[in-house]
Structure 1
Amino acid sequence: MARYTGPKGRINRRLQTAIYESAGALKALDKRGNQPPGMHTRFRRPSNYGQALMEKQKIKHYYGLGERQLRRYFDKATRQKGNTGANLLMLCEKRIDNVIRMVGLCKTRPQARQGVAHGHFLVNGAKMDRPSYQVRPGDVISIRPKGNLLRYYQTVRESGVEGEGIDWVSFDTEKLTATVQGAPSAEDISLPVDANTVVEFLSR
């Protein structure tokens, strides 16, 4: 799942949500979002199990998680105080690849994940190559001081890519740096998903 390379438009249509943000995937959802992928098919009312599975798939595809990674996040969320579903999604929101996408340094989360994995970004001045890194208050995310990287991400910004805006991270558009000022709350979760259904599913 973390390295899904298949047709992203099919996933958007299957889950009826803009999970993948590439132009083709969004176009597929816009034009044929009322039809599931495949020939001569139509949506059927899913069972409770099917609905829960669909909600889980939304989280996995949206944040680029594998099954084991999602299970680790779930185990961690259950040990935290508060609502387990909200805790699970907040752990996903704090991933560095998600933050980079949210501030507008990349067009999509897969692109942000690839950039981090290739060592394009620094956290507090040190190279970071783990897309799953959980950002913390005070962390400063910047681009490695290499001319080609700086030009590339500046071009991405100038191409009209905009961040979705998150109150707990400030972004300097001139220096292209993001500073984590706090932690996300339940209101900051960017994915429309029934997390409690996912919690029930993972608790079986």
Structure 2
Amino acid sequence: MARYTGADCKRCRREKMKLFLKGSKCESPKCPIESRPYPPGEHGRGRAKESEYLLQKREKQKCARIYGVLEKQFRNYYEEANRKQGKTGENLLRILESRLDNVVYRAGFAKSRDMARQLVRHGHFLVNGKKVDIPSYRVSENDIIEVRRSSLELTPFVVARAEAGEKNVPAWLEVIPSKMRILVHSLPSRQVIDTPVQEQLIVELYSK
């Protein structure tokens, strides 16, 4: 499976904002964007020439980086969203939000989407009673996601139980910390997705 293995903090600096790719580090003074709030590289401090295409490209890159999706898969998600009824940009965000790794992260069972992806890949979760180890697996309304019994005492899940309630869980999910269980009541509408993305710019980019 293709995946990005470079420095996550450089990606935040490139987008000039925190993408929260490193979990608790992003909340601490050690976050590089606090001391170097400009793009990486020799010319990072220079003023890039703004253009419509650049804004659209940066918005697409930001969205893909937040959810940890590479270009080919992101493009496939866009094409699927375009085929659905409704606004393409909103459909795209709903697809990304319904990924299993994102649901695990949103529920507070992992500090970052990267961590959630690793936990899923290692086979620690059941969806409706069946083991699922594919991070891009898409959850559906009324799905029940839970940590496997054999994994409950692993450090990440012990920490997640101890910190239950500290993270705001979106209304479309319900978390039962004592059972390490997530109930998917519905798929999210655009109004409840707090990802800082202007999806219309992504639609304009791919529509050219």
| Equivalent residue number for residue 133 of structure 2 | 129
Give yes or no for contact 1:10–1:25 (8 Å, CA) kept in 2.
Answer: no
> What are the residue-to-residue correspondences of 1:138-149 with 2, within 5 Å?
138-147=142-151, 149=153
User: How many residues in Structure 1 have an aligned counterpart in Structure 2?
Assistant: 203
| Equivalent residue number for residue 50 of structure 2 | 46
Give yes or no for contact 1:9–1:24 (8 Å, CA) kept in 2.
Answer: no
Post-superposition shift, 1:44?
A: 2.6
CA RMSD of aligned residues (A): 2.2
| Secondary structure at the counterpart of residue 146 of structure 1 | helix
Unaligned runs of 5+ in 1: none
| Equivalent residue number for residue 185 of structure 2 | 181
Unaligned runs of 5+ in 2: none
Structure 2 residue identity aligned to 1:99: V
Give yes or no for contact 1:13–1:36 (8 Å, CA) kept in 2.
Answer: yes
Instruction: Select 1:69's aligned residue among 73, 94, 114.
Output: 73
Residue 31 (str. 1) matches residue 31 (str. 2): no
Instruction: Summarize the Cα distance change of 1:62–1:147 in structure 2 as closer, same or farther, 3 Å threshold.
Output: closer
Instruction: Select 2:107's aligned residue among 103, 107, 124.
Output: 103
| Secondary structure at the counterpart of residue 97 of structure 1 | helix
Structure 2 CA distance, aligned partners of 1:184 and 1:71?
21
| Equivalent residue number for residue 13 of structure 2 | 13
Structure 1 residue identity aligned to 2:144: V
The range that moved more, 97-106 or 21-30, is 21-30
Give yes or no for contact 1:144–1:150 (8 Å, CA) kept in 2.
Answer: no
After superposition, the C-alpha distances for 1:18-43 in whole angstroms (9 at most, x for unaligned) are 2133244551122222x221346234
Structure 2 CA distance, aligned partners of 1:48 and 1:112?
34
Identity within the alignment, % = 37
Residue 155 (str. 1) matches residue 159 (str. 2): yes
| Equivalent residue number for residue 119 of structure 1 | 123
Structure 2 CA distance, aligned partners of 1:191 and 1:46?
23
Structure 1 residue identity aligned to 2:18: A
Instruction: Summarize the Cα distance change of 1:113–1:11 in structure 2 as closer, same or farther, 3 Å threshold.
Output: same
